[in-house]
Structure 1
Amino acid sequence: MPNRNPTSFSSYVALCFMIFSNVALVTSKSTIEPCSNSDSCNALLGYNLYTDLKVAEVASLFQVDPISILTANAIDISYPDVENHILPSNLFLKIPILCSCVDGIRKSVSTKYKTRPQDTLSSIADSIYAGLVSADQIKEANSISDPSVLDVGENLVVPLPCTCFNGTDNGLPAIYLSYVVKAVDTLAGIAASYSTTITDLMNVNAMGSTSIKAGDILAVPLSACASNFPRYASDYGMIVPNGSYAITASHCVQCSCGPGSRNLYCMPSSLAVSCSSMQCKSSNLKLGNVTVQQSSAGCNVTSCAYGGYANGTIITWLSSSLQPRCPGPQQFPPLLAPPTHVTRDSAFAPAPAPQSDGGSTTTVPKTVPSTGSLPGLAPAGAPIGSTSDASTLVNLVAAVPTALMIFLLIKLIPPFSL
């Protein structure tokens, strides 16, 4: 009998194990945005409540101001004790966060979670944070050697996904929502729900096809109104999505982005109690006041606008301009009552696949816009951000029929003797 390498069979078994292990370790796909500076920017997270929670409890999970969550979702903050209002399970909310540049990519690392009895990394990632992070990401961010042992009361850093892309989309102001794909979602349904296009979603997320799966995390551009506050202002870079508003200047100022608008409009908020002066210098106009005067040359418009918040002072500036026609009344986002339940047609339901009149899911043909790209590669003109190369490779391996893989591996294994 010829001599055979005794390690040949074990090597091929190890190869087989590694391939199938990698297939099992497919993780959620998310957009990665490279960055090179330490600036923070505004972003949003799409979050589904895993149980009934008070507004303040949701805010604590993400370490943000409870009022900022309400305003980002156009919920009326004038209700008594609104921070302690109980929000229903499965409610979908947009959570405003600061997106930082860490180790060359955009992500939020300001969120910390205090562990409780019965917590596991998987339950924290999949349930409490609704798939916005993976157990492995939490493990890596906290250098956890044994994930089966979590001390009660331990503060864990929870790295959450976010993108900014300079606060623009196709050259217009935008804020980006990190959206976790649900099993019923289609790319067409998500695009329709957020007033964008399939092509735009594919470009932003560097997708080679319209195929998505549950657990993927997509960056969804939302049209918005951008501020032009100076860098020294604490609210520098503030951007507000269409149809919502934001509170700033220690709850003294409310800025809104009306439906179909690109102009940020700021005025004193309903929470203003002890605030610095909001009157424009050399004028009797206060923040948010606008005067118009028709003339033969057009319309003279004078306004007292908000210029940011610095060192406890509300900055205002007076502007005058001659416009072809006088502006109409200011359009405000319609405010919603604090929600107590969730229905399919609720404004707080997650973006579903398009539905027919009968309520059944409509089949949407998965056509790929002509981009000149191969599957798995970024479409032409896509931003630098892209999905994980490792995830794409694993998905390609996973697409190979299991029986074919086993057949090929058997053919590669040389004969051996016991």
Structure 2
Amino acid sequence: MPPKKPTLALPATILLLFTVAGVTPKSTIEPCSNNDSCNALLGYTLYTDLKVSELAALFQIDPILLLAANSIDVSYPDVESHILPSQLFLKIPITCSCVDGIRKSGATRYKTRPSDTLSNIADAVYGGLVSADQIKEANSIADPSVLDVGQSLVVPLPCTCFNGTDNLLPAVYMSYVVRAVDTLAGIAARYKTTTTDLMGVNALGNAAIDDGDILAIPLSACASNFPTYASDYALSVPNGGYAITADHCVQCSCTPGSRLYCQPASLSVSCSSMQCKSSNLMLGNVTVQQSSAGCNVTSCGYGGFVNGTIITTLSSSLQPRCPGPQQVPPLIAPPTVVSPDMAFAPTPSPSQLGGAPIGGLPGSVVPSTGSSIVFPPSANGPSGSSSGACALVSPLSSFSLAMVLVSFIKVVLPFL
């Protein structure tokens, strides 16, 4: 047997650096004790070119709901077969349930392919939203090195509800995987919130975040007041996006002033009547009539989907001034290429953080970044979310630690 090579005894400082650099990513955990669910979002970056239908199948969601959440025009010809480019950042709408006392999405399943590993599935395919250990535990896998081709795996994706509110205002929460270029201040600026709010929601002791951490980001929303017996009860739509409901017949958006505005969807489907009773107004129509006392406003609104019927409500009010046209988020064509503004990192550039205006509508289809560098997801990247509670992590980045380590070794090695 060949003699063992001598072992280099590293100083305690170096061991500490290795320990800090390998800190397990944080993840926001919301305990729960009931069967209630809510609408939630996942911030996701495509790991390869995918058709809309393929991406929807990856998360077991309706492709129309996927497109609507990102303000992509669902009436685009053959939109479900459109190929979305790799590295495109999208919001994935999911149902957040209570599973084993923790909020998570338990409806996603993945069918394994040749050469798949749990790490590859977690880090590359699902972009670090889940860890290999979490998939292993959810599927009671004894030997993770042995995966059968075609095996169906439960993928426990992170999500939060927090009663659908943030500081007592309606909100939908998005799970976002932190990238190395992100800062908490930048994420807060992009999503129209504050670092204090993000620290409170995610139980952070300070503003330090690390590559691979999973943050719950509250997005301001418009909440419905549909009756409990409506199939779309508790519908909440994030600002800047859309929701499709009533069997693809109704399209709702969040307009300025946090008002939910619903109108017929731009799809060729068979729908029940959308005309308000005792009126010639259709869903979404508004009439105004100026008078000496103010402006008489009559509108035909949406009241929920009940037993296959679209409920419409006719309302009249006297307002000081006549309202202008509804300001709904602009619809866009499905993206074909990814520009720097469509990369996964939402952190604005330093100049934007310094007070310059940030372009785009709140919650637009893809968060912008001031960096022109695009980092592809790595199969050997961060392990995803941790199943434990949030922990305080050193504010030093992994990059900085690596530089310190290299410099130290260059100095020390000649004397060993």
TM-score (norm 2): 0.80
* Alpha-carbon distance, 1:102 to partner: 1.5
Partner of 2:105: 108
Whether 1:224 and 2:230 are equivalent positions in the alignment is no
The alpha-carbon distance between structure 1 residues 394 and 286, as it changes in their structure 2 partners (threshold 3 A), is: closer
* Alpha-carbon distance, 1:26 to partner: 4.0
Distance in 1 (CA, whole Å) between partners of 2:18 and 2:142 is 20
* Alpha-carbon distance, 1:355 to partner: 3.9
Partner of 1:352: 347
Distance in 1 (CA, whole Å) between partners of 2:58 and 2:150 is 14
Matched to 1:352, the amino acid is T
The Cα offsets for residues 140-186 of structure 1, whole Å up to 9 and x where unpaired, read as 11111111111111111100011111111111111111000001111
Q: Which runs of 5+ in 1 are unaligned?
A: 1-18, 362-386, 402-418
Partner of 1:29: 26
Matches within 5 A, 1:46-57: 46-57=43-54
Contact 1:22 1:394 in 2 (8 A): no
1:267 aligned residue (251, 263, 268): 263
Contact 2:28 2:389 in 1 (8 A): no
Distance in 2 (CA, whole Å) between partners of 1:240 and 1:324 is 28
2:338 aligned residue (342, 366, 386): 342
The Cα offsets for residues 96-132 of structure 1, whole Å up to 9 and x where unpaired, read as 0010012222110000111111111100000000000
Contact 1:120 1:148 in 2 (8 A): yes
Distance in 1 (CA, whole Å) between partners of 2:218 and 2:197 is 8
Matches within 5 A, 1:250-265: 250-258=247-255, 260-265=256-261
DSSP-derived class of the 1:199 partner: helix
Q: After TM superposition, where is structure 1 displaced by more than 6 Å over at least 4 residues in a row?
A: 19-25, 393-396
Whether 1:330 and 2:329 are equivalent positions in the alignment is no
The alpha-carbon distance between structure 1 residues 204 and 331, as it changes in their structure 2 partners (threshold 3 A), is: same
Contact 2:204 2:390 in 1 (8 A): no
DSSP-derived class of the 2:340 partner: coil
Matched to 2:131, the amino acid is S
Distance in 2 (CA, whole Å) between partners of 1:360 and 1:158 is 32
Partner of 1:198: 195
Matches within 5 A, 1:354-369: 354-356=349-351
Distance in 1 (CA, whole Å) between partners of 2:325 and 2:115 is 55
The alpha-carbon distance between structure 1 residues 27 and 319, as it changes in their structure 2 partners (threshold 3 A), is: same
Partner of 1:239: 236
Contact 1:26 1:391 in 2 (8 A): no
Distance in 2 (CA, whole Å) between partners of 1:93 and 1:393 is 29
Distance in 2 (CA, whole Å) between partners of 1:23 and 1:101 is 33
DSSP-derived class of the 1:50 partner: coil
Matches within 5 A, 1:93-104: 93-104=90-101
* Alpha-carbon distance, 1:84 to partner: 0.8
Partner of 1:307: 303
Matches within 5 A, 1:109-258: 109-258=106-255
The alpha-carbon distance between structure 1 residues 243 and 390, as it changes in their structure 2 partners (threshold 3 A), is: closer
Distance in 1 (CA, whole Å) between partners of 2:388 and 2:175 is 19
Partner of 1:392: 391
Partner of 1:298: 294
Matched to 1:138, the amino acid is I
Partner of 2:37: 40
The Cα offsets for residues 245-273 of structure 1, whole Å up to 9 and x where unpaired, read as 11111111111123x34011111111042
Distance in 2 (CA, whole Å) between partners of 1:293 and 1:23 is 66
* Alpha-carbon distance, 1:350 to partner: 3.1
Matched to 2:270, the amino acid is S
Distance in 1 (CA, whole Å) between partners of 2:324 and 2:287 is 11
* Alpha-carbon distance, 1:298 to partner: 2.0
The alpha-carbon distance between structure 1 residues 343 and 349, as it changes in their structure 2 partners (threshold 3 A), is: farther
Distance in 2 (CA, whole Å) between partners of 1:360 and 1:99 is 31
The alpha-carbon distance between structure 1 residues 286 and 105, as it changes in their structure 2 partners (threshold 3 A), is: same
1:78 aligned residue (68, 75, 80): 75
The alpha-carbon distance between structure 1 residues 75 and 106, as it changes in their structure 2 partners (threshold 3 A), is: same
* Alpha-carbon distance, 1:391 to partner: 5.4
RMSD value, Cα: 2.6
The alpha-carbon distance between structure 1 residues 390 and 251, as it changes in their structure 2 partners (threshold 3 A), is: closer
* Alpha-carbon distance, 1:36 to partner: 2.2
Distance in 2 (CA, whole Å) between partners of 1:289 and 1:331 is 14
387-396 vs 215-224, which deviates more?
387-396
* Alpha-carbon distance, 1:287 to partner: 0.8
Distance in 2 (CA, whole Å) between partners of 1:324 and 1:391 is 50
Distance in 2 (CA, whole Å) between partners of 1:275 and 1:164 is 31
Contact 1:186 1:353 in 2 (8 A): no
Partner of 2:315: 319
Matched to 2:346, the amino acid is A
Contact 1:179 1:217 in 2 (8 A): yes
The alpha-carbon distance between structure 1 residues 344 and 393, as it changes in their structure 2 partners (threshold 3 A), is: closer
Contact 1:226 1:264 in 2 (8 A): yes
The Cα offsets for residues 353-379 of structure 1, whole Å up to 9 and x where unpaired, read as 53449x987xxxxxxxxxxxxxxxxxx
The alpha-carbon distance between structure 1 residues 58 and 118, as it changes in their structure 2 partners (threshold 3 A), is: same
TM-score (norm 1): 0.79
DSSP-derived class of the 2:153 partner: strand
